[in-house]
């Protein structure tokens, strides 16, 4: 099956956020406290943080 890699569109930022909310707890629970995990998710994957990053020159998300 072919694999396609493409830049994410701005309208897909909620999907990126949901992926992080689903993946990070499973991946990082062994090494981060719940408080640290929530702090980092909010820092990097809040709607505002994603919007800000999306608008940065040379910054993009891939699907």
Round the average pLDDT of the chain to a whole number and report it.
96
Tens digit of each residue's pLDDT (9 = 90 or more) over 23-62: 999 999 999 999 999 999 999 999 999 999 999 999 999 9
Instruction: Answer yes or no: pTM beyond 0.75.
Output: yes
Q: Can you give the residue ranges of every domain in the chain?
A: 10-55
Long-range contacts (CB closer than 8 Å, 24 or more residues apart) made by 49-57? 50/13, 50/16, 50/17, 51/10, 51/13, 54/10, 54/13
Distance, in Å, from the CA atom of 59 to the CA atom of 56, rounded to the nearest integer, reads 5
């Amino acid at each position: 099956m072919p694999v396609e890699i493409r830049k994410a569109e701005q309208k897909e930022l909620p999907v990126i956020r949901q992926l992080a909310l689903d993946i990070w707890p499973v991946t990082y629970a062994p090494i981060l406290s719940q408080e640290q995990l929530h702090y980092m998710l909010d820092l990097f994957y809040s709607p505002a943080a994603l919007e800000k990053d999306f608008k940065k020159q040379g910054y993009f998300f891939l699907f």
